[in-house]
């Protein structure tokens, strides 16, 4: 059991619970260590599990109990556990009275989205039958009615209950920027598609740091010539406390969700993209690419690359050490989580085929050959693929990526030289096991218009990408 690896957990067991649409779903019961004193809650345990399990294996309901039933031989008993914990049968609808008009209004949205007559404060969204598509619908309604942006992924972290969502919405509404009123920053006009425009001359990608107050971004300001927005963030300019200081962008660790959301707002405002349009994936250290549709938001699936063909979505990658790779070409833009395994499996070549012909490539801060220690067998695998290594126990993934790109005829690559492990301006899991995540972001700008590109879009790069290489995000059977 993955939960047993958490230091606060004494016992844990996963078991099946009824689900209104799936038939069955996964739940977990946990007994905490005696000295925990109630410090560890379900949210922390769910986030911990999320760092080690695929999303479809995460327990949708996690309960903390005094003891787990055992059989005559002392073995933990799964059979009947859902009944014993009250997770089956008719829901009790008189548990707690709603505490505020906001909670009542949100309860109405939940009931409408999930097609229920009534929702109680401690009801769990996923236990009631919610899924990722319903989460996207619900967060869109919250944004429209309350003017509050709650990433859909937050429903799997801190806002799984109605009461939890009400607390987060109230917290967002209390922010001074929200009380000032007005339109949501960086509102997106989704009425027209805007594909990339080809450069009038060979484009030379470059990267430079730009400061926005105490927040630093690494950008290519000339990328506007291609009709795209591009930015890499680091630790600076955020509000998170140690060990997530300061601009942690990930909800998957133990950081406070309100701090993470504020950090995301600051980075989005500095980079000039619409936070409400952010789309991210759950990296699986492979080579699969997901194509993001114009209306998809939040966590769109499990994969190591996101492709956008038009304006609308903002592609995002939250990472600590792996190599963030951005390619722009006639077929759109692709943002890749280029881990060692993915590079060996051809994720670089697949990304180039997905948007080719490629006009420019950018590689952001990542762990470099000085700190990326591997087993000798890994360097053997790199050499077998014709990729460079540093020595028998070190590889430099950005260098290997540029080599793979040259192999498919791509020469215009800008590489940021910093090593995330050496340089404490970045989050790094190699430097410390408990840390945050910086981000890489790319989007096709709304003003990136080119009529002739519309005519060539269907032919550009489409035939080079097989169904096995590229699939639509959100249609993987999750």
- Count: domains in the chain: 3
189 within a domain of the structure (yes/no):
no
Residue 137 reports pLDDT greater than 90: no
pLDDT in tens, 34-85: 888 777 877 678 777 777 776 567 777 778 888 888 877 777 777 778 777 7
Banded pLDDT at 409 (limits 50, 70, 90): very high
259 within a domain of the structure (yes/no):
yes
Verify that 77 and 225 share a domain, yes or no: no
Domain hosting residue 7, numbered range: 2-84
Residue 263 reports pLDDT greater than 90: yes
CATH code, domain with 309: 3.60.140.10
Angle, vertex CA 322, rays to CA 475 and CA 233, nearest 5 = 95
Angle, vertex CA 369, rays to CA 355 and CA 207, nearest 5 = 50
Average pLDDT over residues 398-416: 95
Where is pLDDT greater, at 338 or 109?
338
* Nearest by Cα to 283 from 328, 322, 257: 322
Residues 97/31, Cβ–Cβ less than 8 Å:
no
92 within a domain of the structure (yes/no):
no
199 within a domain of the structure (yes/no):
no
Q: What is the mean pLDDT of the chain?
A: 81
Verify that 65 and 113 share a domain, yes or no: no
Q: H or E element: which one contains 233?
A: strand 228-233
pLDDT in tens, 181-229: 443 333 333 233 344 656 666 788 999 999 999 999 999 988 988 889 9
């Amino acid at each position: 059991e993955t939960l047993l690896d958490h230091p606060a957990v004494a016992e844990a067991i996963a078991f099946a619970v009824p689900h209104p649409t799936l038939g069955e779903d996964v739940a977990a019961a946990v007994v905490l260590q005696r000295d925990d004193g109630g410090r560890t809650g379900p949210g922390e345990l769910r986030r911990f599990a999320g760092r080690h399990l695929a999303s479809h294996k995460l327990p949708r309901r996690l309960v903390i109990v005094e003891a787990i039933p055992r059989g005559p031989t002392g073995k933990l008993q799964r059979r009947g556990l859902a009944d014993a914990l009250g997770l089956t049968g008719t829901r009790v609808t008189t548990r707690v009275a709603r505490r505020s008009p906001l909670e009542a209004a949100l309860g109405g949205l939940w009931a409408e989205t999930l097609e229920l007559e009534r929702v109680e404060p401690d009801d769990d969204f996923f236990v009631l039958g919610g899924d990722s598509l319903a989460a996207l619908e619900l967060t869109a309604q919250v944004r429209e009615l309350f003017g509050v942006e709650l990433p859909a992924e937050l429903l799997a972290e801190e806002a799984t209950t109605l009461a939890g969502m009400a607390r987060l919405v109230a917290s967002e509404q209390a922010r001074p920027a929200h009380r000032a009123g007005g339109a949501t920053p960086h509102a997106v006009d989704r009425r027209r598609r805007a594909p990339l425009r080809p450069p009038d001359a060979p484009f030379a990608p470059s990267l430079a740091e730009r400061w926005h107050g105490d927040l630093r971004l690494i950008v290519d300001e000339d990328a506007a010539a291609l009709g795209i927005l591009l930015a890499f963030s680091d630790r600076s300019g955020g509000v998170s406390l140690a060990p997530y200081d300061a601009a942690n962008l990930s909800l998957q660790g133990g950081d406070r969700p309100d701090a993470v959301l504020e950090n995301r707002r600051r980075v989005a405002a500095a980079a000039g993209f619409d936070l409400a349009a952010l789309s991210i994936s759950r990296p699986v250290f492979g080579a699969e690419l997901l194509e993001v549709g114009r209306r998809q938001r939040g966590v769109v699936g499990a994969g190591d690359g996101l492709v956008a063909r038009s304006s609308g979505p903002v592609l995002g990658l939250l990472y600590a050490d792996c190599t963030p790779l951005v390619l722009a070409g006639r077929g759109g833009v692709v943002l890749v989580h280029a881990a060692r395994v993915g590079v060996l499996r051809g994720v670089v070549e697949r990304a180039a085929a997905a948007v080719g012909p490629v006009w420019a490539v950018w590689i952001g801060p990542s762990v470099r050959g000085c700190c990326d220690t591997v087993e000798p067998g890994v360097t053997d695998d790199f050499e077998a693929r014709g990729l460079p290594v540093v020595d028998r126990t070190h590889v430099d993934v950005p260098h290997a990526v540029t080599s793979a790109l040259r192999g498919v005829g791509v020469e215009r690559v800008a590489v940021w030289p910093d090593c995330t492990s050496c340089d404490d301006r970045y989050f790094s899991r190699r430097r410390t096991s408990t840390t945050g995540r910086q981000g890489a972001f790319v989007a096709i700008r709304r003003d990136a218009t080119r009529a002739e590109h519309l005519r060539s879009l269907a032919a550009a790069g489409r035939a080079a990408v097989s169904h096995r290489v590229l699939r639509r995000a959100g249609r993987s059977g999750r």
